[in-house]
Amino acid sequence: MHVVNDRHARSDKMAGVPRRRPRPRNGPRPRQVPTGLGRRMQTLRVQRGLTQVQLAQRASVSQAIVGRLEAGMRTGRLETWLWLAAALGVTLDELVGGGETSSPQ
């Protein structure tokens, strides 16, 4: 019996090829990264009255990157953090350390 519009029907060409198993929906979650830096960036952004979109435009990155960094879903490249720090008007040290400076002893 040949079924024409069944989405599960397979062509004769694929009859011997095993089907790919679907990815489990409740599988492992993406690895979370520390959110301290992202939270610091979010705090600075909100203090300056910027949206994620505005910050992204100033730093020449996508809004998705800003959101993922703030949520701790991505670590980001060093240059991305440099662009974001410049867009926020802070140094990378201030962004990473929260403005705390320590002098070597």
Domains of the chain: 36-93 (1.10.260.40)
Taking residue 57's Cβ as centre, other Cβ atoms within 10 Å add up to: 15
Given this model, what pLDDT does residue 79 score? 92
Residue 57: which residues within 8 A CB-CB, separation 6 or more? none
- Does the reported pTM lie above 0.75? no
Helix, coil or strand: residue 39: helix
Percent of the chain predicted with pLDDT > 70: 59
Task: Choose between 36 and 16: higher pLDDT.
Answer: 36
CA distances from 55 to 3, 13, 34, 38, 74 (A): 54, 52, 21, 13, 17
Residue 15 confidence class, pLDDT cut points 50, 70, 90? low
The pLDDT of 5-10, averaged and rounded, is 55
Residue 8 confidence class, pLDDT cut points 50, 70, 90? low
For 23-57, how does the pLDDT look when each residue is reduced to its tens digit (9 = 90+)?
666 655 555 555 688 899 999 999 999 999 999 99
Taking residue 45's Cβ as centre, other Cβ atoms within 10 Å add up to: 19
Given this model, what pLDDT does residue 56 score? 96
Quote the CA–CA distance of 34 and 36 in Å, as a whole number: 6
Quote the CA–CA distance of 7 and 89 in Å, as a whole number: 54
